[in-house]
Amino acid sequence: MQSVPVWDFPTRVFHWALAVAVIASYLTGEEEGIWFVVHTVSGYTVALLLVFRLVWGFAGSVHSRFSDFTYSPGSVKTYAKQLLRFNPPRFVGHNPLGGWMVFLMLVALAGTVVTGLFSGEDDGGAGILLPLIAAPGGEGLAEVHEFFANAVVALAGIHVLAVFLDWFLTKENLVKAMITGRKDLDDTEVGNQKPLVGRWRGVVAAFIVAALGAVLIQQTDFAAIASGGAESEHHSERDEPNDD
């Protein structure tokens, strides 16, 4: 057995930063004032991480590429059967079910951040794209945003349970691999491995994301956001139960 790099540095930073930013966003979604500024910043972080992951799905190292974990329905079925017999094979990259779970999480996250940009009310605590769909005082996509956010949290919960189940069944510590980037591979697996991509690709991807982040920050009125938020007076009036 030989310890070989499998997850490149940008993929690992993406993963752990995403986990922190998603948790921070979820905890602050219903807050107001400075905590709603935190919501906006952590939400933007999730959005930028997703843009990075889109680029990295084509330009990243082999196991980070979308093509590496787009498995056919046949392979998913075979894998699921083996899993049901508590005897799943071990994969160097994402396994067939795990691969589709990654896509599902990325889609749910994309739905969350896009609808977030169209959420809120024009009391200050609103996404920057809300004016495109709502007249002054009108409502945005907060309900859809909340639905997607709950879907993300449900999927992430299943994801973490699945990681531990896989660890238990295959005896391979996947969490450690997502931290160090390395896995112990046998000689055949080592022979089949491609080296990780060079550092400059990560730097270029980081620049693209930073440029986009600068535009987002420049377009955002943080002072207005600090004065509004999901629990602002205007908003809670709308939420009175006697509406219907």
The nearest distance, CB 53 to ligand HEM, in angstroms, is: 6
Interacting span for ligand HEM (CB under 6 A) from 13-21, 72-80, 189-197, 202-210: 13-21
CA distances from 242 to 121, 192, 212, 230, 231 (A): 20, 64, 42, 19, 18
- Estimate the crossing angle of helix 73-84 against helix 96-117, to 10 degrees: 110
Residue 25 within binding range of ligand HEM, rule CB under 6 A: yes
Residue 175 within binding range of ligand HEM, rule CB under 6 A: yes
The beta-carbon contacts of 48-54 under 8 Å, at least 24 apart in sequence, are: 48/209, 48/212, 48/213, 48/216, 49/14, 49/17, 49/18, 49/21, 49/209, 50/106, 50/109, 50/110, 50/113, 51/208, 51/209, 51/212, 52/10, 52/14, 52/205, 52/206, 52/208, 52/209, 53/14, 53/106
Query: Which amino acid is residue 158, in one-letter code?
Result: I
The nearest distance, CB 87 to ligand HEM, in angstroms, is: 18
The nearest distance, CB 85 to ligand HEM, in angstroms, is: 20
Q: In which element (H, E) is residue 109 found?
A: helix 96-117
Residue 201 within binding range of ligand HEM, rule CB under 6 A: no
Residue 113 within binding range of ligand HEM, rule CB under 6 A: yes
Interacting span for ligand HEM (CB under 6 A) from 78-86, 171-179, 184-192, 203-211: 171-179
The nearest distance, CB 23 to ligand HEM, in angstroms, is: 6
Residue 11 within binding range of ligand HEM, rule CB under 6 A: yes
The nearest distance, CB 137 to ligand HEM, in angstroms, is: 13
Residue 105 within binding range of ligand HEM, rule CB under 6 A: yes
Distance CA 1, CA 138 (A): 61
Interacting span for ligand HEM (CB under 6 A) from 76-84, 159-167, 197-205, 207-215: 159-167
- 201 is written with which tokens? 């690709």
Query: How many CA atoms, within 13 angstroms, populate the side-chain half-sphere of residue 109?
Result: 27
SS3 3: strand
Distance CA 13, CA 78 (A): 32
Which of 50, 110, 156, 209 is close enough to bind ligand HEM by CB under 6 A? 156
Which of 37, 41, 47, 134 is close enough to bind ligand HEM by CB under 6 A? 47
Residues that bind ligand HEM (CB under 6 A): 11, 14-15, 18-19, 22-23, 25-26, 29-30, 39-40, 43-44, 46-47, 53, 64, 94, 98, 102, 105-106, 112-113, 116-117, 119-121, 125-127, 142, 145-146, 149, 152, 156, 159-160, 163, 174-175, 178, 230, 235
